[in-house]
Amino acid sequence: MIQRLNHAQQSPELFRTLADLSMAVKKAVEPTLFSLVEIRASQLNGCAFCVDMHVKEARLHGERELRLHHVAVWHESPLFSARERAALAWTEAVTHLPAKGVPDDLYARVRDEFSDKELADLTYAVMTINAWNRASVAFRAEPGSTDKLYGLDKAGLV
C-alpha cells in the first residue's frame, strides 16, 4: 500500500480554516444531533477514521453505547426521537444528493422539526463532516491515530 501524504501538513492554512468552521458548527448544533450527524455521514462515506473519532467523542459526552450501535440502523431503531430521525434523514440526503435534489417531502418533514436557523446550521454540519470524510478517505487517515492528541483515549474504546 502506498503511503499517503498528510494533508494537514501540506495545507495548514486550509486545514485550520476547515477546523475553525467545524468548531463554529459544533457550537451552533446541539451536541447529540451533532454527534449523530458526524457518525452517520462518516458511515455513509466509509470513513473509518471519522467513525472511530466521533463514536469516541460521543461516548465521552455521555451518549449511550446502544444508540451508537443503532446509528447505522436508525430507520428501524426505536431509540431516536422524531427530531433525531429528521436530522439523520437530512444527513443521508445531503451526503448522497439524489439526482433530482432533496425531495420536498423530506424537506417538509425536516422543517417540522427545525427552525430556519437550525436547519441551516444542521446543513453546515453535514457539509463540514463530508469535507473531513473526503480528506480522511482520500489520504487514508488511520483510525485512532489522533486519540491521544484529542483526548479520545479516555473514551475507553480500543
Query: Cα(52)–Cα(57) distance, rounded to whole angstroms?
Result: 9
Note the pLDDT of residue 157. 84
- Does the pLDDT at position 156 exceed 90? no
Digit-coded pLDDT (tens) for 93-144: 999 999 999 999 999 999 999 999 999 999 999 999 999 999 999 999 999 9
Residue 45: pLDDT band with limits 50, 70, 90 = very high
- Does the pLDDT at position 158 exceed 80? no
Residue 28: all three cell numbers together = 451552533
Share of the chain above pLDDT 90, in %: 95
What are the domain boundaries of the chain?
Answer: 12-155
Digit-coded pLDDT (tens) for 61-80: 999 999 999 999 999 999 99
Note the pLDDT of residue 142. 94
Long-range contacts (CB closer than 8 Å, 24 or more residues apart) made by 72-75? 72/40, 72/43, 74/36, 74/40
What class, spelled out in words, does domain 12-155 have in CATH? mainly alpha
Mean per-residue pLDDT, 44-72: 97
Share of the chain above pLDDT 70, in %: 100
Q: Find the largest Cα–Cα distance for the chain.
A: 48
